[in-house]
Each structure stands twice: as C-alpha cells, then as structure tokens.
Amino acid sequence: MKRIQRLRQRGITLVEFVIVFPLATLFVLGLIQTGLVYMAKLTLNHAAFMAARVGATHNASKDVMREAVIRGLSPFYQDSTDGNDLSRLAKAYLKAKLDNVPLARPWAAEVEVLNPSPDAFTDFGVRDPKARVTYIPNDNLEWRSLDVGTRSKMNIRDANLLKVRVTYGYELKVPLISGVLSRVMCGGSVGVDAYGDVKIWQTVFGPVSQECLKYYLHGRIPIESFAIVQMQTRAEKSS
C-alpha cells in the first residue's frame, strides 16, 4: 500500500513539474528580456538627446538628427570579440546604418520633431526668400515680445525649444520571447484588442496594424524616447 502511495506521489510531482517548468522558464526569460529592453531604453535616451543637441545647432534638420541617432544606436551592433576599437566602432556604425534604411527596414529609427510645430511656424515664421526657407527667429530672444501666438498657444521663447521623439524597433534577443510577444500582440484568438486579432493570411491579403507589420512580426518592439533642448540656431523648414 505504501509503495503504491509513493508511486502516486512521484506521478503527481512529475505532473506538477510539467505544468510549472514551462511557465517558470518563460517567466525567467521574460525577466532577462525586460532587463535588456531597459538597457536599450537607456541607450535610446542618450541617442535622442544627442540628436536633439545636434539638431539645435543645425536648424532642427531631421536628416542631421537622424544621423546622430544612428550613431547613438551603434552600441546595439558592436561585436565584442573584435579587440580593435576603431574597426569595431566602424563596423557597428555601418551595421546600424544598414539596419535603419527607412524604405528597406520597416523598424528603422524614426525622428519626429514635435516642436517647433507647424503652428509655431505659422505664428512666428519669417520667410527667407534667398535661402527659400521659413525660419523662427532665434536672436535677441530676451528683447522680443512674449505675446502668445494664436495658433500655437506659445510665445517665441517656447517656439525655440526643440522637442524630438525618437522611435526605434529594438530586436528581442531572448529565445521564445519574440514569438510569444508577436502572438499576443498581433495574432490568434489570445491576442489583446490593442492591435487586433491578426491571422497569418491577413498579413498578406488583409489590413494589419502598422505596429505589427513594422515591429512585432519581425521580432522587435517599438521603444520611444523624448528630448528637449534650447535651439542654438534658427529653426528652419523648406517652403
């Protein structure tokens, strides 16, 4: 009788192990991936700040800021086995450049200028016919009027604050996590309502959320970072 009870207990232990082990493994892998995402967010924060700082001295040029972001993302692409600092950094920059081609890589880093806004250019913009640009004056701000613009609802000093948002599709490194996340966020009956219930055939023939197409179905997640700096040159836009 005791022998039968011991065998039953062994069977119960095996069943418990089969149930708990996959969940525990997924939980541990999720914790590891969360730590990596946190470190990636810190890296992106620095890249966004560097982009805003460069943009502040280059007339809020998106091309210049995007180049700064790519340089800031180079740590994601470094080969730690390469002992030569120069070659390692050069290769990392080249990989970052190739992995962030907007038309070829849907997850490529995006730089959006939130301020100065189009309304700010409407309120404070000055046309430069020679350069063929519209700019917001940046000189002698302490002596300029602080009247609030009718469209932007800000004064000229606020209009000279450069605020950017950088979005980057970070590649998930931990096994299983990317598959689980893409399943939860984009497909199947277990998917949350945030991005819809997407079937495989819908990825080809039907409408799919932009987040799924750009990030989750490629094993990536979007992370964002914001940066605000004072303009050191006049903000310009083509007109």
Same domain, 31 and 141: no
The answer to whether residue 234 sits within a structural domain is no
Among the candidates 106, 136, 160, a domain finishes at: 160
- H or E stretch covering 235: strand 235-238
pLDDT for 156 equals 93
Print the domain residue range for 44.
Answer: 2-116+165-229
Q: Rounded to two decimals, what is the model's pTM?
A: 0.81
The answer to whether residue 8 sits within a structural domain is yes
Q: What is the mean pLDDT of residues 68-74?
A: 94
Same domain, 57 and 130: no
Same domain, 43 and 143: no
Same domain, 98 and 127: no
The answer to whether residue 7 sits within a structural domain is yes
pLDDT in tens, 197-227: 555 545 444 445 678 888 988 889 999 999 9
Is residue 157 predicted with pLDDT exceeding 90? yes
- 192-to-31, 32, 187 alpha-carbon distances in Å: 21, 23, 9
The answer to whether residue 224 sits within a structural domain is yes
Q: Give 79's contacts (C-beta < 8 A, 6+ positions apart).
A: 88, 91, 92
- 234-to-90, 118, 154, 228 alpha-carbon distances in Å: 32, 15, 17, 15
As a whole number of angstroms, the distance between CA 132 and CA 239 comes to: 6
Nearest to 167 by CA among 79, 40, 54, 74: 40
Comparing 183 with 174, the larger pLDDT belongs to 174
Same domain, 43 and 73: yes
pLDDT for 138 equals 92
The answer to whether residue 237 sits within a structural domain is no
Model confidence at 189, pLDDT cuts 50, 70, 90, reads: very low
The residues that bridge with 235 in the sheet, in sequence order, are 136
- H or E stretch covering 227: strand 220-230
The C-alpha angle with vertex 147 and arms to 145 and 149, in degrees rounded to 5, equals 125
Comparing 239 with 196, the larger pLDDT belongs to 239
pLDDT for 197 equals 52
The answer to whether residue 235 sits within a structural domain is no
Model confidence at 234, pLDDT cuts 50, 70, 90, reads: very high
pLDDT for 204 equals 47
Same domain, 141 and 31: no
Is residue 127 predicted with pLDDT exceeding 80? yes
Same domain, 144 and 53: no
As a whole number of angstroms, the distance between CA 114 and CA 60 comes to: 11
Torsion, Cα 64 67 68 74, to 10 degrees, reads: 180
pLDDT for 190 equals 42
Among the candidates 129, 160, 191, a domain finishes at: 160
* Mean pLDDT over the full length of the chain: 85
- Provide the 3-class DSSP secondary structure of residue 69: helix
The answer to whether residue 184 sits within a structural domain is yes
Comparing 26 with 164, the larger pLDDT belongs to 164
Is residue 105 predicted with pLDDT exceeding 50? yes
And the tokens for 221?
């997640």
Per mean pLDDT, which of 38-42, 179-183, 194-198 is the most reliable? Answer: 38-42
Same domain, 15 and 101: yes
The answer to whether residue 104 sits within a structural domain is yes
Is residue 129 predicted with pLDDT exceeding 90? no
Same domain, 15 and 83: yes
Number of domains in the chain: 2
Same domain, 141 and 202: no
Say if strands 161-171 and 220-230 run parallel, antiparallel, or are unpaired.
antiparallel
As a whole number of angstroms, the distance between CA 77 and CA 106 comes to: 18
Same domain, 222 and 122: no
pLDDT for 7 equals 52
Which ranges of 82-195 does DSSP label H, i.e. alpha helix?
85-98, 118-124, 156-159, 177-186
Per mean pLDDT, which of 28-32, 44-48, 212-216 is the most reliable? Answer: 44-48
CB 113 within 8 A of CB 163: yes
Same domain, 215 and 107: yes
